[in-house]
Structure 1
Amino acid sequence: MFLAIVAAAIAGASPAIAQDREQVKLVFEHALPNVEGKRMAAVLVSYPPGSKSLPHRHAASAFIYAYVLSGAIRSQVGDDPAQVFRTGEGFYETPGSHHRVSENASDTESASLLAVFVVDSKDGALTIPDKDAAPR
């Protein structure tokens, strides 16, 4: 559902705003047959040059592994320092983590990552923007 909302928001936004924000596409989702009550989902997150995500959390049960497919992604999870991950590198988020920074580290090159979630089947939205995060 979140992905549909994001897609609708991007489609209805002006071109200047759409370029400032990441694009999210669900590429895989399936129940885990050997782990009752869990599912796996994968999303492709594409960042135009200079774009970023709003600060957010993920579904409370979500364990996430993110793999950088292209470019460089700056990420800060919780109180850890921000780090830049480049093509071929990855990072993870434990359940309940707060993703404070997620952005393209370049103002001139695009970047993308594949985020793989293992999450409770009953959890709906994979990503929940912070309530106080102001949309641009």
Structure 2
Amino acid sequence: MNTSDEDDEVTELQTEITRLLLEFVHAPLLEDQYVRSVLPAPAGAPAVRGVLGGRGEHVPARLTTYEIPLGQGEDLLTPHDVVALLRAVHTGTHIYPADRVTTVMGMDLYLADPAHLQPAPFTTDD
């Protein structure tokens, strides 16, 4: 598969993930956390950024963004994998090294590493 084909596949996957995540704008992704936005990854990186917060929340300081890398080649995540990882990063306590925490548009941005996460189980809403 050449680079252009891989880029097209990642772009299509990002679109599918965005479509799925938008379902959680009105229904909670996890308890009281809703998807408030889906942001593009920088410079076409094979990743997706999900913004989580309370229902109707729009103040950047009260929102949290997680960047989930999508993998490469045959090892790309599915949209449901991304939902499970977003639930996982927002459950329990996670310690992120300083180089994996930054900000974007006034929101905290956590660069998640799927290799160090146990995906949350699927729910009947998935």
TM-score of the superposed pair, with normalisation by structure 2: 0.32
* Structure showing the higher strand proportion among its residues: 1
TM-score of the superposed pair, with normalisation by structure 1: 0.31
Larger RCO (alpha carbons 8 Å, 6+ apart): 1
* Structure showing the higher helix proportion among its residues: 2
